[in-house]
Structure 1
Amino acid sequence: MIDLHYWPTPNGHKITLFLEEAGLDFRIIPVDIGKGAQFEPEYLRISPNNKMPAIVDHAPADGGAPISVFESGAILVYLANKTGRFFADDVRGKVHVNEWLMWQMAGLGPMTGQYGHFHVYAPEAIDYARDRYRNEVLRLLGVLDKQLRGRAFITGDEYTIADMACYPWVNPYTKAPLDLSPFPDLLRWHAAIAARPATQRAYALTTQVNPDAGKPMSDEEKKVLFGKR
């Protein structure tokens, strides 16, 4: 059994995508980031950076004590190694998957997050910041679109953790949508993943865990999420 400390955000969705695809037994432990659950001492013991998600694997492959893992990319690699799925079988293939996983962790995720912050959550409109992050996100989506030309998935014919990492970060802000029409291969890939039954099960968890998903954040929630140290 895997305990998934989760809230329905793009980084949270990465892990439910994997767990649903792999058919692993898991239990969701909600981490309400708007109420500051990520700062609770018990949670900080497994996720010292006070970010979500994190997991605790109560049945690790070595048969030893439970293993906790924080950081969504590290969790995906751990789960891929545990199950032997959604990761390449050979050294060169693993390098390729890792490249695109790190690309998402270092680029697509952070830049899209900043785009969302300044277009959706910031208390005032700052044109420089809005333009800066919009342009960078569009550049990154162009990189991904080019990579997907002639490929079913990011690294080839097989669905991998690189796809699971990138998918939730493509145009996640309904209040600040991007025009993706210049990226036909990206749209094709995104639609194919959206149609997977495991993807639909993963995203169905959103309102089960947070019935208020999609509603505007309160000022107090923004203060906790963006201001607490």
Structure 2
Amino acid sequence: MSDPYVPPAVWSPDTVSGGVFAGINRPSAAPRIEAELPRGQHQLQLYTLATPNGQKASIMLEELLEAGHAAEYDGWTIEIGQGDQFSTGFIAVNPNGKIPALLDLRGPQPVRVFESGAILLHLSDSFGAFGGRAAARAEVLSWLFWQVGAGPFMGGGFGHFYHYAPEKLEYPINRYAMEVKRLFDVADRRLQESRYLAGDEYTIADIASYPWLSAFVFGTAYGDAREFLSIQDYHAVDRWVREIADRPAVRRGRLVGRVTGPPEKQLRERHSPADFAGKDV
């Protein structure tokens, strides 16, 4: 066991933390490289990567298209491991330097939308879709923001300390494992009493939560986290995940911005439905 860490009186970014993100993490939000973002022919430009947060936006756009809305878009990969998110062009769309980000060119002036929850709300409101009926609107928003608050515990908390940190430490792993299991229990209890998170209707609450919860259910998140957390015990979540996974728009949306795995599971750019030809959807 390593010696206990004693925080200095004043923290300095010169401290080496190690880990896979050590090369890109800095305490500054300023852009680091001069580079413009690409633009395609459509009025909606999505800049993303197929992480759970990134999948929310692409799934939403594909669901809108599946439902018959005029939501054609160009999807561009932002490779966060290479620092694409720190370009001047990307920071202009998202000053927080995180994916996904959306540029909406449908009006007289470009509208930037950043943070995945805001993108879902913006698209839901502007297209009048997947926002829930009026009586259920508060329930939809409550579950949407439940997920927005839960994501950092699952990724930045549990995922970092259990999978990415250069050293396994009992306290943070226990702390965040406890919280992830509690969040799964919240969802499981809700899904025992309703088909979807906000009720009987599929909404942006489900679109937001699905990429995160499904990653644990399917065992694609953080190595052996499914076994470690006994995810198989959450039967209602499992039923809900597998039902949503069968939606054609979800299968397409999960591919957008994927740069790992076999070629049939990758889609670095998306400009039309034809881009999915030959892909494993």
1:30-71 CA-partner distances (Å, limit 9, x unpaired)? 111001111111111110111110000111xxx321211000
Matches for 1:103-142 after TM superposition, within 5 Å: 103-106=146-149, 108-113=150-155, 114-142=157-185
1:4-52 CA-partner distances (Å, limit 9, x unpaired)? 0101100000011101111121101211100111111111111011111
Deviation for aligned residue 1:174 = 4.8
The root-mean-square deviation of aligned C-alpha atoms, in Å, is 1.4
Contact 2:130 2:203 in 1 (8 A): yes
In the alignment, which residue of structure 1 is the partner of 2:85? 38
Q: Which of 170, 176, 188 lines up with 2:224 in the alignment?
A: 176
Task: Measure, in 1, the Cα distance between the counterparts of 2:207 and 2:169.
Answer: 32
Q: Return the letter of the residue paired with 1:195.
A: D
Matches for 1:33-72 after TM superposition, within 5 Å: 33-59=80-106, 63-72=107-116
In the alignment, which residue of structure 1 is the partner of 2:142? 99
Contact 2:50 2:255 in 1 (8 A): no
Q: Return the letter of the residue paired with 1:39.
A: F
Contact 1:46 1:54 in 2 (8 A): yes
Task: Measure, in 1, the Cα distance between the counterparts of 2:98 and 2:190.
Answer: 30
Contact 2:75 2:256 in 1 (8 A): no
Bigger CA radius of gyration:
2
Q: Which of 51, 72, 75 lines up with 1:25 in the alignment?
A: 72
1:152-176 CA-partner distances (Å, limit 9, x unpaired)? 1101111100001111111151513
Scaled by the length of structure 1, what TM-score is found? Answer: 0.86
In structure 2, runs of 5+ residues without a counterpart are 1-42, 66-70, 263-281
Q: Which has the higher contact order (CA 8 A, sep 6+)?
A: 1
Deviation for aligned residue 1:206 = 4.8
Task: Report SS of the residue matched to 1:5.
Answer: strand
Count of matched residue pairs = 206
Contact 2:54 2:100 in 1 (8 A): yes
Contact 1:116 1:176 in 2 (8 A): no
Task: Measure, in 1, the Cα distance between the counterparts of 2:120 and 2:56.
Answer: 8
Scaled by the length of structure 2, what TM-score is found? Answer: 0.70
In the alignment, which residue of structure 2 is the partner of 1:192? 243
Runs of 4 or more above 4 Å deviation: none
In structure 1, runs of 5+ residues without a counterpart are 214-229
Contact 2:159 2:222 in 1 (8 A): no
